[in-house]
């Protein structure tokens, strides 16, 4: 997708956003979740790679774009995949996992396609290639309004329906899950036990934004709000 097309698309989204803001605003649904900006995605990844793996672990980023994050990762071993631009391998995640990769990782950042079937695929493959004790960070899984969750992008920062992955993640017994309401709204999990692939099934088709609003009320979620809380995770 070339630069001119992306700029043109941004202008279209901006126009749609303005129309939405004026006419559809009363019909939008919002979460009460307060997304702050005190913990950035690159800071989280660098912190974990440094504190848990002394920068010797293996890092994978799925979806790199302009290397906004990838270029900031200070780690000896890093692989960034993107079929369009950025990273160091021009591959989509399917081609990477099925035809290219044979190694295990300690930290994986999932930030490619935000459609739930792709996020699910990337999550399952990440779990399969994660070392025990490794971490996965998912971006854009805490949308704060309904218009940002349409599968067809209509807003400037669309999360599409990536958030649906939370419904599966909270059921998995072999991970420790945290929500991080900062930056774009993230989820972090650690592989604390050998994965049970039988648990990696979910019918996402019936999930709605209203279900997500209810899900956020679930007191079982643990949150990471700042760097101190991040340093306290095991």
Ligand X SMILES: C[S@@+](CC[C@H](N)C(=O)[O-])C[C@H]1O[C@@H](n2cnc3c(N)ncnc32)[C@H](O)[C@@H]1O
Q: Which of 19, 84, 132, 156 binds ligand X (CB under 6 A)?
A: 84
Examine residue 62 and tell whether it contacts ligand X (CB under 6 A): yes
Question: For strand 130-138 and strand 105-110, is the pairing parallel, antiparallel, or unpaired?
Answer: parallel
Contact flag: residue 82 with ligand X (CB under 6 A): yes
Residue 25 main-chain phi, psi, to 5 deg? -50, -45
Name the residue among 54, 36, 63, 220 with its Cα closest to residue 137.
63
**Is 195 near ligand X (CB under 6 A)?**
no
**Which of the ranges 24-32, 75-83, 166-174, 201-209 carries the binding residues for ligand X, by CB under 6 A?**
75-83
User: DSSP string spanning 79-124?
Assistant: EEE-SSSSSSB---HHHIIIII----EEEEEE-S--SHHHHHHHHH
- Residue among 111, 137, 138, 188 that touches ligand X (CB under 6 A): 111
Pick the stretch among 15-23, 79-87, 127-135, 143-151 that binds ligand X (CB under 6 A).
79-87
92 interacts with ligand X by CB under 6 A: yes
Residue 76 three-state SS? coil
Q: Counting contacts by CB under 6 A, is residue 137 touching ligand X?
A: no
* Residue count of the chain: 234
Answer yes or no whether residue 65 interacts with ligand X by CB under 6 A: yes
- Region binding ligand X by CB under 6 A among candidate stretches 13-21, 56-64, 124-132, 173-181: 56-64
Of the candidate residues 63, 143, 181, 185, the single one contacting ligand X (CB under 6 A): 63
* CA dist., res. 23 & res. 79, Å (int): 44
Cα distance between residue 189 and residue 203, in whole Å = 21
**Angle in degrees, CA 48, 78, 109, rounded to 5:** 55
Q: Which residues sit at the interface with ligand X, rule CB under 6 A?
A: 41, 62-65, 68-69, 81-84, 86, 92-93, 111-113, 118
């Amino acid at each position: 997708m070339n630069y001119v097309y992306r700029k043109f698309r941004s202008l279209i989204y901006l126009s749609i956003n303005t129309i939405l803001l004026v006419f559809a605003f009363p019909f939008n649904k919002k979460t009460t979740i307060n997304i702050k900006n005190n913990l950035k995605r690159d800071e989280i990844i660098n912190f974990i790679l440094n504190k848990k793996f002394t920068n010797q672990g293996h890092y994978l980023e799925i979806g790199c774009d302009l290397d906004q994050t990838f270029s900031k990762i200070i780690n000896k071993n890093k692989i960034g995949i993107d079929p369009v631009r950025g990273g160091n391998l021009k591959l989509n995640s399917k081609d990477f996992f099925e035809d290219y990769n044979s190694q295990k990782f300690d930290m994986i950042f999932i930030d490619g396609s935000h459609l739930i079937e792709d996020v699910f695929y990337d999550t399952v493959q990440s779990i399969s290639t994660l070392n025990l004790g490794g971490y996965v960070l998912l971006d854009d899984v805490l949308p704060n309004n309904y218009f940002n969750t349409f599968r067809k992008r209509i807003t400037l920062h669309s999360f599409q329906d990536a958030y649906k992955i939370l419904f599966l993640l909270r059921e998995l017994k072999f991970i420790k899950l945290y929500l991080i309401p900062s930056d774009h709204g993230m989820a972090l999990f650690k592989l604390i036990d050998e994965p049970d692939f039988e648990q990696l099934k979910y019918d996402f088709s019936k999930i709605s934004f209203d279900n997500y609003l209810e899900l956020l009320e679930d007191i079982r979620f643990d949150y990471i709000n700042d760097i101190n809380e991040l340093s306290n995770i095991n």
